[in-house]
Chains A and B, each alone.
Chain A
Amino acid sequence: MIHVENLTKHYGSFRALDSVNFHMDRGEVVGFLGPNGAGKTTTIKILTCNLFPESGTVKVAGFDVATDEIEIQRRIGYLAESAPLYRDMRVREYLKFMGEVRGLSGAGLSDAIDRVARQCGIVKYLPRSIGHLSKGYRQRVGLAQALIHEPEVLILDEPYTGLDPLQIIEIRNLIKDYGREHTVLLSSHILSEVEATCNRVLIIHEGRIVTDESAALLLHQDSVFARVIGPDPEILAHFDHFDKAKLIGSHRLGTADGVEVHLKPEGCTLDELATAVSAACNAHDWSLLYLGPGTVTFEDLFLQFTRKNGVGA
Chain B
Amino acid sequence: MTEKDSQINAPEETEEAGVVAQEAADPDATMKIEPKPARKVKTKKAEVSGHHPGPSAWRSFVVVWKKESAGFFYSPVAYIILGGFALLVAWLFFDQFWLRNEASVRPLFASMPLLFLMITPLLTMRSWAEERSTGTADQLFSLPVSLPILALGKAAACLSVLLLALVITLPYPIMAESMGNLDWGPVLGGYIAAILLGSAYVSIGLFLSAMTRTQIEAAFLTFFVAGLLYFIGEPFFLDRMENPQLVLMLTRMGLGSRFSSIARGVLDLRDLLYYVSITAFFVMLNVAVLRHRKWL
Interface of A with B (CB < 8 Å)? Answer: 11, 45, 48-52, 69-71, 73-74, 76, 78, 80-82, 84-89, 93, 97-98, 100-112, 114, 145, 149-150, 152
Distance to closest chain A CB from B231 (angstroms): 35
Q: Which residues of A contact B32 (CB under 8 A)?
A: 111, 114
Q: Which residues of B contact A112 (CB under 8 A)?
A: 48-49
Q: Mark B2-23, 1 if CB is under 8 A from A, else 0.
A: 0000000000000010011001
Q: Mark B56-71, 1 if CB is under 8 A from A, else 0.
A: 0001100110010011
Those of B203-225 within 8 Å (CB) of chain A: none
Closest B residue by C-beta to A12: B296
Q: Which residues of B contact A50 (CB under 8 A)?
A: 138, 141-142, 294
Those of B227-269 within 8 Å (CB) of chain A: none
Interface size on B, residues (CB 8 A): 47
Would you call B100 an interface residue if the criterion is a C-beta within 8 Å of the partner chain's C-beta atoms? no
Asked whether, in the complex, the Cβ of B144 is within 8 Å of the Cβ of A70, the reply is yes
Asked whether, in the complex, the Cβ of A80 is within 8 Å of the Cβ of B138, the reply is yes
Asked whether, in the complex, the Cβ of B135 is within 8 Å of the Cβ of A105, the reply is no
Would you call B171 an interface residue if the criterion is a C-beta within 8 Å of the partner chain's C-beta atoms? no
Those of B128-178 within 8 Å (CB) of chain A: 134-139, 141-146
Asked whether, in the complex, the Cβ of A107 is within 8 Å of the Cβ of B52, the reply is no
Asked whether, in the complex, the Cβ of B136 is within 8 Å of the Cβ of A84, the reply is yes
Q: Which residues of B contact A106 (CB under 8 A)?
A: 16, 39-40, 43-46
B43, B59, B144: the one contacting A74 at CB < 8 Å is B144
Asked whether, in the complex, the Cβ of B144 is within 8 Å of the Cβ of A102, the reply is yes
Asked whether, in the complex, the Cβ of B64 is within 8 Å of the Cβ of A104, the reply is no
Q: Which residues of B contact A97 (CB under 8 A)?
A: 63, 67
Asked whether, in the complex, the Cβ of B142 is within 8 Å of the Cβ of A78, the reply is yes
Distance to closest chain B CB from A262 (angstroms): 40
Asked whether, in the complex, the Cβ of B49 is within 8 Å of the Cβ of A107, the reply is no
Asked whether, in the complex, the Cβ of B294 is within 8 Å of the Cβ of A103, the reply is no
- In the complex, A71→B39 CA distance in Å? 28
Q: A84-B134, A112-B49 are in contact. List 13 more A-B contacts (CB 8 A).
A: A49-B141, A49-B142, A78-B142, A81-B135, A81-B138, A101-B55, A101-B143, A103-B47, A103-B55, A108-B19, A111-B32, A114-B34, A145-B139
Q: Which residues of A contact B60 (CB under 8 A)?
A: 101
Asked whether, in the complex, the Cβ of A100 is within 8 Å of the Cβ of B63, the reply is yes
Known: A97-B67, A101-B60, A110-B36. A84 touches B138 (CB 8 A): yes
Would you call B180 an interface residue if the criterion is a C-beta within 8 Å of the partner chain's C-beta atoms? no
Asked whether, in the complex, the Cβ of B40 is within 8 Å of the Cβ of A107, the reply is yes
Distance to closest chain A CB from B139 (angstroms): 5
- In the complex, A89→B134 CA distance in Å? 14
Would you call B54 an interface residue if the criterion is a C-beta within 8 Å of the partner chain's C-beta atoms? yes
Would you call B29 an interface residue if the criterion is a C-beta within 8 Å of the partner chain's C-beta atoms? yes
Asked whether, in the complex, the Cβ of B71 is within 8 Å of the Cβ of A86, the reply is yes
Distance to closest chain A CB from B153 (angstroms): 10
- In the complex, A181→B107 CA distance in Å? 66
- In the complex, A190→B67 CA distance in Å? 35
Closest B residue by C-beta to A142: B139
Q: Which residues of A contact B294 (CB under 8 A)?
A: 49-52
Would you call B27 an interface residue if the criterion is a C-beta within 8 Å of the partner chain's C-beta atoms? no
Closest B residue by C-beta to A78: B142
Asked whether, in the complex, the Cβ of B55 is within 8 Å of the Cβ of A86, the reply is no
Asked whether, in the complex, the Cβ of A80 is within 8 Å of the Cβ of B142, the reply is yes
Those of B168-206 within 8 Å (CB) of chain A: none
Q: Mark B252-296, 1 if CB is under 8 A from A, else 0.
A: 000000000000000000000000000000000000000000111
Q: Which residues of B contact A88 (CB under 8 A)?
A: 71, 74-75
Choose among B36, B60, B67 the residue with the greatest number of A CB atoms under 10 Å from its CB. Answer: B67
Distance to closest chain A CB from B128 (angstroms): 14
A70, A82, A103: the one contacting B52 at CB < 8 Å is A103
Closest A residue by C-beta to B45: A105
Q: Which residues of A contact B99 (CB under 8 A)?
A: none
